[in-house]
């Protein structure tokens, strides 16, 4: 195996996980970030994000000398064999991707590198961005070196990011030359995973097409769940029947209150925007976005039909993160619902095993944060479940009856069996299932 000197720009979900996994596979890696305090924290083996197994691998590879962190991009980039760009591309108000961070890193690379180098864009970027990055770097080069730009989109899921990287179903690489293809294949050789080699623009499109298809699948199931409620069918039985068809598969068939996180909301809007720029309307993707937007507050609307007001009521909120296994709150349904509850004057008692500190940064006041689900439920008038953490799934139905002033539960993740809740004396509402 050939060991490469790799620099990674950005230490968020994409950059940090990639850098740590490259080091785990034997490469020499230095991760670059502008935040000095963040870098010092990572040097101590503390991850800035909550992600299973990440801290353990950070500590191991740092101790063994294959992994380091710095704010000095000049020293990191100047003699790197490959530089992976893993900075954020946040959503703009119009749905387009903000490429300012990618442009900043590209300029730094152009002004710094002193040897031939492969620049690899892992950030999720609109189709054609890699072409622009390559031209921008070539136009700005200070030294007489040869550079190429490759696309290498990531397909990790928050909560399982390390596993998804080390045991990926496939690695997508997009290159414009045999030399760039060869080098990327050598970098990934120790992963011993299937590699799909494409041209750059096709590789960029694979990322969007994959994420948007999964988002579409989620919104489709939620749409069917809403119809199930009207016609008296059970979405879980419907999903089970569908799952046996290999053309459909069993994943992403769970109905609920919609998707969130850093990928699906941003990527659906970005592809919709891109299509519009070319005069094309992505009707299926637009429908997925619309369904998801309405789905997030479906349970709140159900509760409004049941209650005259939330003013002065104690509301237990169980789960704040957009999914289990992460502390990420981006596009989390909890935020949309809590905004509405606060406007109505609800007294919110919130619990999440991981994401409460992040939520406190958004809502330092007006919410009481508690250390256990039971503390949230004590004398509560109503309970909303927004995240299916195991700590929440383990709560026995009788606990709601015993602790709540009014055992009224709105479950956005269909955690409980309807009959179990009914037998426990709980007024229970979920998504797409018979009451």
Q: What percent of the chain has pLDDT over 70?
A: 100
Give the list of residues 6+ apart from residue 31 with CB closer than 8 angstroms, or none.
7, 8, 10, 11, 15, 16, 19, 42, 67, 68, 69, 70
Q: pLDDT tens digit string along 306-341?
A: 999 999 999 999 999 999 999 999 999 999 999 999
Res 424 pLDDT > 90: yes
pLDDT tens by residue, 87-131: 999 888 888 889 999 999 999 999 999 999 999 999 999 999 999
- Cα–chain center distance at 288: 17
User: Which residues share a beta bridge with 133?
Assistant: none
In the sheet with 408-411, reading across from the earlier edge strand, the strands are 367-369, 347-351, 314-318, 382-385, 408-411, 427-429
The continuous run of DSSP H or E covering 423 comes out as helix 418-423
Looking at every residue in the chain, the average pLDDT score rounds to 95
Q: What is the pLDDT of residue 91?
A: 87
pLDDT in tens, 163-185: 999 999 999 999 999 999 999 99
pLDDT of 435: 67
Number of neighbours of residue 246 by Cβ within 10 angstroms: 7
The domain 207-294 is placed in CATH, from the list 1.10.1040.10, 3.40.50.1000, 1.10.150.20, 2.40.50.1070, at: 1.10.1040.10
Asked if residue 250 has pLDDT above 70, the reply is yes
Across 196-212, average pLDDT = 96
Rg (CA), the chain: 24
pLDDT number for residue 412: 97
Is pLDDT of 355 > 80?
yes
C-alpha 273/C-alpha 184 separation (Å) is 30
Give the up-direction half-sphere exposure of residue 425: CA atoms within 13 A in the CB hemisphere: 10
Structure tokens, 175: 């290159």
Query: Is the pLDDT reported for residue 420 higher than 90?
Result: yes
Residue 325 and residue 388 in contact, taking contact as beta carbons nearer than 8 Å: no
For residue 377, pLDDT over 80 is answered with yes
- What mean pLDDT is predicted for residues 50-74? 96
Q: Does residue 1 carry a pLDDT above 80?
A: no
Average pLDDT over residues 390-397: 96
Q: Where are the domains of the chain?
A: 5-198, 207-294, 296-429
DSSP state letter for 32: E
**Percent of the chain whose pLDDT exceeds 90:** 95
pLDDT at 371: 96
CA distance 117 to 383: 55
pLDDT at 434 over 90: no
Residue 269 · residue 330 · CB < 8 Å: no
Comparing CA positions, the residue from 322, 333, 299, 338 lying closest to residue 429 is 299
pLDDT of residue 95: 86
273-283 pLDDT per residue, tens:
999 999 999 99
Catalytic residues, by residue number, are 263
Domains 207-294 and 296-429 share a fold: no
Q: Give dist(CA 335, CA 361) in Å, integer.
A: 13
* C-alpha to C-alpha distance for 150 and 131, rounded to whole angstroms: 9
Contact 310, 301 (CB under 8 A): no
pLDDT band at 158 (very low <50, low <70, confident <90, very high): confident
Can you give the pLDDT at residue 401?
A: 97
Q: Which pLDDT band holds residue 263 (cuts at 50, 70, 90)?
A: confident
Q: What is the pLDDT of residue 237?
A: 96
Render pLDDT for 17-55 as a digit per residue (tens, 0 to 9).
999 999 999 999 999 999 999 999 999 999 999 999 999
Q: What is the pLDDT of residue 310?
A: 97
Q: Which phi and psi angles does 3 have, rounded to 5°? A: -95, 130
Q: Is the pLDDT of residue 261 over 90?
A: no
Domain 5-198: what homologous superfamily? NAD(P)-binding Rossmann-like Domain (3.40.50.720)
Determine the CATH number of domain 296-429.
3.40.50.720
pLDDT (mean) for 346-363: 96
Locate 376 and state its tokens.
């949230």
Q: What is the pLDDT of residue 166?
A: 96
> What's the pLDDT score for residue 367?
97
């Amino acid at each position: 195996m050939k060991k490469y000197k790799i620099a990674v720009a950005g230490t968020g979900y994409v950059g940090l996980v990639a850098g740590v996994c490259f080091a785990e596979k034997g490469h020499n890696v230095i991760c670059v970030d502008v935040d000095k305090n963040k870098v010092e924290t990572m040097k101590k083996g503390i991850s800035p994000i909550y992600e299973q197994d990440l801290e353990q691998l950070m500590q191991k590879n740092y101790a063994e000398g294959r992994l380091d962190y710095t704010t000095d991009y000049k020293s990191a980039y100047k003699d790197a064999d490959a530089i992976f760009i893993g900075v954020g591309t946040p959503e703009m108000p119009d749905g387009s991707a903000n490429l300012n961070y990618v442009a900043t890193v590209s300029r730094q690379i152009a002004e710094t590198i002193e040897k031939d180098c492969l620049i690899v864009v892992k950030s999720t970027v609109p189709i054609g961005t890699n072409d622009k990055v390559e031209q921008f770097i070539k136009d700005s080069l200070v030294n007489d070196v040869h550079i190429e730009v490759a696309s290498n989109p990531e397909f990790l899921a928050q909560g399982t990011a390390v596993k998804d990287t080390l045991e990926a179903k496939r690695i997508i690489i997009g290159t414009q030359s045999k030399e760039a293809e060869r080098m990327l294949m050598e970098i990934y050789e120790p992963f011993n995973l299937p590699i799909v080699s494409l041209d750059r623009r096709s590789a960029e499109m694979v990322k969007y097409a994959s994420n948007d298809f999964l988002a579409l699948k989620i919104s489709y199931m939620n749409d069917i769940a809403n119809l199930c409620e009207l016609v008296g069918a059970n979405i879980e039985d419907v999903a089970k029947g569908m799952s046996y068809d290999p053309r459909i598969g069993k994943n992403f068939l769970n109905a609920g209150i919609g998707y969130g996180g850093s990928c699906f909301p941003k990527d659906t809007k970005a592809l919709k925007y891109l299509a519009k720029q070319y005069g094309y309307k992505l009707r299926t993707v637009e429908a997925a976005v619309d369904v998801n937007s309405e789905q997030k507050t479906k349970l709140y609307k159900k509760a409004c039909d049941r209650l005259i007001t939330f003013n002065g009521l104690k509301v237990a909120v169980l789960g704040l993160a957009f999914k289990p296994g992460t502390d990420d709150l981006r596009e989390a349904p909890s935020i949309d619902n809590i905004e509405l509850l606060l406007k109505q004057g609800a007294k919110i008692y919130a619990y999440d095993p991981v994401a409460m500190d992040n939520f406190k940064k958004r809502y330092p006041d007006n919410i009481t944060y508690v250390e256990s689900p039971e503390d949230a439920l004590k004398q509560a008038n109503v309970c909303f479940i927004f995240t299916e953490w195991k700590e929440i799934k383990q709560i026995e139905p009788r606990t709601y009856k015993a602790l709540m002033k009014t055992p009224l539960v709105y479950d956005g993740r269909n955690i409980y069996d309807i009959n179990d809740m009914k037998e426990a004396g709980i007024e229970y509402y979920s998504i797409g299932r018979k009451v």
